[in-house]
């Protein structure tokens, strides 16, 4: 059963909560297939070096023209580990999220993947059964210009995820049950890039657009313009859905050996057209009793092991996040559950 819930509004961070650096090198712009990389999370507050978010930490890797992955990378902000789980030739937009839904923004550049000696971490995906998001532009979108996104394949309803370079946020829009088209008003800063991704009702990532360049004036207010959604078979004009769906993790590889296994991140999705959504967390209601029976003991064991995570986060409703195997079946893996905190403040700019 899909998780569902309502959030009145989720804030856009005024600035990244923390910053990421590569522990093995001062800077990197490419990785080898299945390379293990040391990751360090550091505070952006010169007066508070301990402001590094709350464990656990996750890497979201958005592949241009490919399928994103979500990977748990560890507990210790000074000793995190991510495995580059995308094939050679891929271009990736990377963002780290902590267990409170705080993020380090979407740093530059797009990272490229090169051939590696070990490709055991790579998965073959059944592309024919995945949802795919298509853009009506092949290269550039102008400030305040409508970006047309259409989705095919997979299972409705769809959730569209827009990752924007040089941004502190990821925009999430859940489409109504019958809709498969999103007209997104581009409020992305010019001279950067964005990638539109999708996941479907099964909780699986689909195939993303290529990286789209942004251009035009720096005024991104776009007064009077609003993002909308519709169905390609007719109709439209429906209000934006406010359902919250699980952030997909089915295409994620197993975590590196230095990471703690068993926890899968989630995203909050609120598609109210006056709401900007940050990388966040999900809340849900109507969870099946069977899942609840499995979830409760897992949460208790996790809380006993990890004193760094609050035992009773505020604004928590309920929600297991379930990882599916995208290749073999849709059977949930009972070792992959988590409950994360919901954020409830209003946004500063329209969607």
Q: Are 162 and 99 in contact (CB under 8 A)?
A: no
Q: Which residue has the higher pLDDT, 302 or 48?
A: 48
Q: Helix, strand, coil shares of the chain as percentages rounded to 5?
A: 5, 25, 65
**Does 34 reside within a domain?**
yes
Q: How confident is the model at residue 155 (pLDDT cuts 50, 70, 90)?
A: very high
Express each pLDDT in 169-202 by its tens digit: 678 889 999 999 999 999 989 999 999 999 999 8
Q: Establish if 312 belongs to a structural domain.
A: no
Assigned domain for 168 exists:
no
Sign of CA dihedral 194, 195, 196, 200: negative
Take residue 18 and report the two structure tokens written for it: 């923390």
Distance (Å, whole) CA 211 – CA 22: 23
Structure tokens at 239: 């209000």
Q: What is the pLDDT of residue 61?
A: 94
Joined together, the tokens standing for residue 42 give: 């550091």
What range does the domain containing 103 cover?
A: 18-114
CATH code of the domain containing 49: 2.60.40.730
Helices then strands (H, E): number in the chain? Answer: 1, 17
- Reported as a pLDDT band with limits 50, 70 and 90, residue 247 is very low
Using CA atoms, how far apart are residues 19 and 8, in angstroms rounded to an integer?
A: 28
Report the domain count for the chain: 1
pLDDT digits (tens, 9 = 90+) for 30-69: 999 999 999 888 877 777 777 788 888 888 899 999 999 9
Q: Does residue 215 fall inside a structural domain?
A: no
Between these two residues, 345 and 212, which has the higher pLDDT value?
212
Phi, psi at residue 71, to the nearest 5°?
A: -130, 135
Asked if residue 284 is part of any domain, the answer here is: no
- Checking if the pLDDT of 343 tops 60, the result is no
Could you tell me if residue 224 is inside a domain? no
Integer CA distances (angstroms), 201 to 153, 247, 248, in order = 11, 10, 10
Asked if residue 182 belongs to a domain, the reply is no
What value does the mean pLDDT take over residues 296-319? 35
Domain assignment present for 13: no
Predicted TM-score of the model (pTM) = 0.67
């Amino acid at each position: 059963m899909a998780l569902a819930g309502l959030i009145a509004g989720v804030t856009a961070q005024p600035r990244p909560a923390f910053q990421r650096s590569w522990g093995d090198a001062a800077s990197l712009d490419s990785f080898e297939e299945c390379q293990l990389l040391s990751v360090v999370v550091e505070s952006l507050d010169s007066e508070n070096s301990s402001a590094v978010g709350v464990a656990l930490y996750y890497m979201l890797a958005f592949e241009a023209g490919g399928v994103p992955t979500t990977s748990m990378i560890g507990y210790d902000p000074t000793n995190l580990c991510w495995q580059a789980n995308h094939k050679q030739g891929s271009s990736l937009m990377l963002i780290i999220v902590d267990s409170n839904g705080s993020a380090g923004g979407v740093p530059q550049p797009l990272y490229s993947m090169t051939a590696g000696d070990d490709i055991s971490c790579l998965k073959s995906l059944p592309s024919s059964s995945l949802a795919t998001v298509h853009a009506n532009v092949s290269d550039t979108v102008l400030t305040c210009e409508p970006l047309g996104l259409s989705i095919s394949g997979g299972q409705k309803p769809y959730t569209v995820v827009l990752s924007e370079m040089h941004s502190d946020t990821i925009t999430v829009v859940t489409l109504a049950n019958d809709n498969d088209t999103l007209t997104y008003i581009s409020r992305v800063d010019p001279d950067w890039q964005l990638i539109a991704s999708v996941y479907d009702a099964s909780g699986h990532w689909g195939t993303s657009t290529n990286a789209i360049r942004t251009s035009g004036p720096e005024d991104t207010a776009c007064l009077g313009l609003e993002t909308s959604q519709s169905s390609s078979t007719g109709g439209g004009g429906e209000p934006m859905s406010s359902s919250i769906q699980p952030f997909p993790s089915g295409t994620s590889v197993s975590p590196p050996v230095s990471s703690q296994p068993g926890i899968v991140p989630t995203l909050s999705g609120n598609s109210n057209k006056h709401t900007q959504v940050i990388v966040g967390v999900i809340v849900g209601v109507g969870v099946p009793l069977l899942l609840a029976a499995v979830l409760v003991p897992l949460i208790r064991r996790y809380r006993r092991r990890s004193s760094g995570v609050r035992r009773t986060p505020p604004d928590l409703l309920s929600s297991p996040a379930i990882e599916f195997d995208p290749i073999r079946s849709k059977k949930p893996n009972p070792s992959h559950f988590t409950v994360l905190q919901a954020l409830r403040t209003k946004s500063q700019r329209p969607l």
